[in-house]
Amino acid sequence: MITPLPGATRPAFRLAHLGFVLQSSNLIPYLTVREQLTLIPHLARRDARAATQQADALLARLGLSDRADHHPDALSGGQRQRVAIARALMNDPQLILADEPTASLDGPRGREVVKMLAREVHGRGRAAVMVTHDERVLNLCDRTVHIIDGQVHEA
């Protein structure tokens, strides 16, 4: 439980244990794709060389190696979301929180992003919670819960 933690220690906890994939990729416009990923380890004061190697390995796994030196404005929406997933994975979080990760994507790209997220979560033995209105991706989830009129219902 994070609530009992003193306010000053919460950012360090989030940095060490949580990964976030937001509705909008929220990439920093003046950083390259590789720099987007190595920013997290830099903030955590991890070894820069190891972080670059980890970033390059993630980019290869997510099919973005050829985009490592590009800025966000040179990426498609799906590529930006894949960078956001890679960034969320850089600290090897125990839990990934994804808020509407398919909102800005068409159906096929949305499914691709959720498949990729699920594959990474399962492959790393981690957990993820995804909030979505996109019913086209629900069959990719291990468990679904619906909130209807303020009531929680197991699907």
Strand-strand pairing, 18-21 and 145-148: unpaired
Digit-coded pLDDT (tens) for 95-124: 999 998 888 778 887 888 888 889 888 988
CATH class, range 7-154: alpha beta
Average pLDDT of span 25-40: 93
Average pLDDT of span 20-27: 87
At residue 38, the pLDDT reads: 95
Answer whether residue 66 shows pLDDT above 60: yes
Q: Are 81 and 105 in contact (CB under 8 A)?
A: yes
At residue 1, the pLDDT reads: 56
Q: Give the start-to-end residue ranges of the domains of the chain.
A: 7-154
CA–CA–CA angle 53, 81, 147 (5° rounding) = 125
Digit-coded pLDDT (tens) for 68-101: 999 999 999 889 988 998 898 888 899 999 998 8
Q: Does the model's pTM come out above 0.85?
A: no
Answer whether residue 52 shows pLDDT above 60: yes
Q: Are 44 and 64 in contact (CB under 8 A)?
A: no
